[in-house]
Amino acid sequence: MAAMTIARRRPGRPRRDQSRPTREVVLAAATELFAQRGFDAVGLREVAAAAGVDVATVAHHTGTKAQLYDACFARVFAAEQEVLQAAAESARSALTAGPQAARQALHDLVDVFVDFSEDRPETTALWLRRWLEPHRHADLDARYAVPLYRLVTDLLVAAAQVGALVEPIPHTTVRSLVWAVHGHVVALATADGSPARERREFRVFVHRFLDALYGPAGS
């Protein structure tokens, strides 16, 4: 019987995760690298090495580096949109139940966003890297940030229209909450103390913030 020839991986290349589609493995590796270093400091060869594939495979699945960068934002956007859309729909259905139910729904919505951001810190890091150069890749905001802002802004406007709360500047309110959560995620990554305590205290803060704007959820 002829001896079986076993292909050997190149030294230093990590074994590719066979349990996930190749494109997902590439995007996960690229997202982490772009989040750590930004667009200019990451090359396709580095992404290929991190994903355990060759450069041709990266290009086949994602195209140019600019297209890969866009796909990383599309990936985190899709995950965030899924959880926020479900929470926003639940909140919208509570608007007609009165101010107390509406405020509780907003508390629940913010909790969903905080949970998502804590579980996916690469989302915060990826956006912060992009916002360091606000005039580059600005089209990414229009596709992958503005729709999520609008989702919650429209909810606040609808709540105000039915008299569930008073919100004169929904756009500013949403952006302020988003930036507070991003700051919290950064603090978690750099905190010397207890992460559990940081999470607990931030939730107390963000609920007090909502109560200051709209009144206690239970009142």
- Report helix, strand and coil shares of the chain as percent, to nearest 5: 75, 0, 25
User: The pTM is what?
Assistant: 0.86
Which CATH number is 17-63's, of 2.130.10.10, 1.10.10.60, 3.30.365.10, 3.80.10.10? 1.10.10.60
**Pairwise pLDDT comparison (96 vs 207), residue with the higher score:** 207
Could you say which architecture CATH assigns to the domain 73-214? Orthogonal Bundle (1.10)
> Could you tell me if 103 and 217 are in contact, meaning their C-beta atoms sit under 8 angstroms apart?
yes
Residue type, 117: S
Phi, psi (deg, nearest 5) at residue 32: -65, -45
In angstroms, the Cα distances linking 170 to 81, 152, 155, 173, 206 are: 19, 8, 9, 5, 16
Q: What is the pLDDT of residues 104-132, one digit of tens each?
A: 999 999 999 999 999 999 999 999 999 99
Query: How many C-beta atoms lie closer than 10 Å to residue 144's C-beta?
Result: 22
CA distance 33 to 140: 18
- How does residue 16 score in pLDDT terms, banded at 50, 70 and 90? low
From 9-23, 91-105, 182-196, the region with the lowest mean pLDDT: 9-23
Delimit the domains of the chain by residue range. 17-63, 73-214
Helix 55-62 vs helix 44-51: crossing angle, to nearest 10: 100
Widest CA span in the chain: 81
